[in-house]
Amino acid sequence: MSVPFADLQLQYQKIKGEIDAAIAAVIRDNAFIRGPYVDAFEQEFAGAVDAGHCVSCANGTDALYLAMAALKVEPGDEVITTAHSWISTSAMITHAGATVVFCDADGATFTIDPTAIEAAITPRTVGIIPVHLYGQPADMAAIMAIAARHNLWVIEDCAQAHLARYKGRQIGTFGAAATYSFYPGKNLGAMGDAGAVVTNDSELAEHMTMLARHGGVVKHQHRIEGINSRLDGMQAAILSAKLPHLPDWTKARQDAAKIYDAGLNQIEGVVIPQVGADRTHVYHLYTIKHPRRDALAAHLNANGVQTAINYPTALPFLAAYSRLGHVPEQFPNAYRDQGSILSLPMFAEITREQQDEVIDLVRQF
Ligand SMILES: Cc1ncc(COP(=O)(O)O)c(C=O)c1O
C-alpha cells in the first residue's frame, strides 16, 4: 500500500460540486480581482477565527510583510522570532526593514521558548512573532506577558494553525495582528497562493488594506507607496466553499493524530508530538522525533510511505543567515531537532488502513 504525505485530489473529489460551482460563478461574474467573492470570504474568515477584520492578500508571506509594515517597523528595530519555522517568518522581518533576532524553540513543543525571548530583548526590540508551528499554539500566556512588560507588539504567524486554540481561545486573537496562509496543503488551502491578516484594530486593518492595494483603497488615490498583494476572486470563492468544512477536517486530523499517538507511543526510539498545557493542536503536520531519522525515512519511503522534514535546517543555520554568524550552541533545541524530526502522512481523509501501514512500518524499522 502506498501512503501519500497529503492527498489534495481526494479532498477535491469529496466536494467537487461545491468547488466547481464556486469557480463557475467567478467566471460568470467576471469577478477575478477583488469584488464580491473576496469581500465575502474576508467576512466569513474573520467570523471563523473570531477576528474583527480580515485583510486578504496574495499569500501568507505577504501577510507577514503587511502586518509589520503597518506596524511601521524601521531600520534598527529588532523583531524576535523562533529558530524553528519556515523562512517566510524571518525573511519578512528583513524585508519590512527590521533586524531578525532568533530565539531557540522549546524542545518539547517545537514552538518559541518564552525564556529565550526574555533573554533576547534589547532596547531596540519592537515586536515578537511567535509561530504556531505544525498546528500547535505557542505559549501565548507567557509571550503576551513578556510583550506587555516590555511594551512590544505581537504578530501571530498562524499559517499552520487554522482554528487552533490556546486556553480555549482562538489563536490569532492574542496579538496586534495574525497572519494566515492558504497555500494548497494548509489545513484550509486554496487552489493556488492565498493569504490573509486578521486584526481587531480597525486602523491597522485599514493601513494593511491600503498597503496591499498600491497604497490606496480608492482608485488613483495613492496615499502611500504600497505593494500589489491581492487574493483573487477564484481563490476567495474556493476558500469560501471549503471554510464550512474546516471544523470537520480539523477534527479528522485530531482523530488521526490520536491513532498515531496510540500506535507509535510504545515504539522504542519514537517521540510522538508533545502537546503543551492548555493547547488545542490542529495537526497541520504530525511530526515525530527519532534518533535515526534518515534511516527511518528511507525505510518508510522505500515501502511507499511519503514523509517530509519540516525543516531540515533551522533558520539561523541557513545560508541566508550566514551574515549573523550563528553557532549551534545558541539554539541547542532547534539544532538537535533538525536532525531528528520527521513528518508523517497527515490529512483529513487519511484512512485507518493507511495509518496502520505507517505505524507497522515504523514498528518494523
Ligand atoms: C509558518 C509559516 N509562515 C509563513 C508561511 C508563508 O505562507 P505562504 O506560503 O502562503 O506565503 C508558511 C507557509 O508556507 C508557513 O508555514
Question: pLDDT digits over 236-250, tens only?
Answer: 999 999 999 999 999
* Rounded distance from Cα 140 to ligand 1 centre (Å): 20
Once rounded to an integer, what is the mean pLDDT over residues 208-235?
Answer: 95
Give residue ranges with CB within 6 A of ligand 1.
59-61, 85-86, 88-89, 131, 157, 159-160, 181, 183, 193, 195
Grid cell in block for residue 325: 554568524
* Rounded distance from Cα 181 to ligand 1 centre (Å): 6
**Is residue 219 annotated as a catalytic residue, yes or no?**
no
C-alpha to C-alpha distance for 252 and 261, rounded to whole angstroms:
14
User: Best substitution site from 162, 181, 227 to test ligand 1's pocket, by max atoms within 8 Å of Cβ?
Assistant: 181
Q: Which residues in 123-154 are b (16+ Cβ under 10 Å) and which e?
A: eebbbbbbbbbbbbbbbbebbbebbeebebbb
Atom of ligand 1 nearest to the CA of 186: 13
Say what percent of the chain tops pLDDT 70: 100
- 186, 242, 251, 289: which is the annotated catalytic residue? 186
Confidence of residue 269 (pLDDT cuts 50, 70, 90): very high
Atom of ligand 1 nearest to the CA of 284: 16
Once rounded to an integer, what is the mean pLDDT over residues 116-145?
Answer: 98
**Taking 90 as the threshold, does the pLDDT of residue 108 lie above it?**
yes
C-alpha to C-alpha distance for 287 and 175, rounded to whole angstroms:
26
47-69 confidence digits (pLDDT tens): 999 999 999 999 999 999 999 99
C-alpha to C-alpha distance for 1 and 44, rounded to whole angstroms:
39
Confidence of residue 1 (pLDDT cuts 50, 70, 90): confident
Mind listing the domains of the chain with CATH numbers? 8-244 (3.40.640.10), 246-364 (3.90.1150.10)
pLDDT at position 42, please?
98
pLDDT at position 137, please?
98
Once rounded to an integer, what is the mean pLDDT over residues 290-310?
Answer: 98
Confidence of residue 313 (pLDDT cuts 50, 70, 90): very high
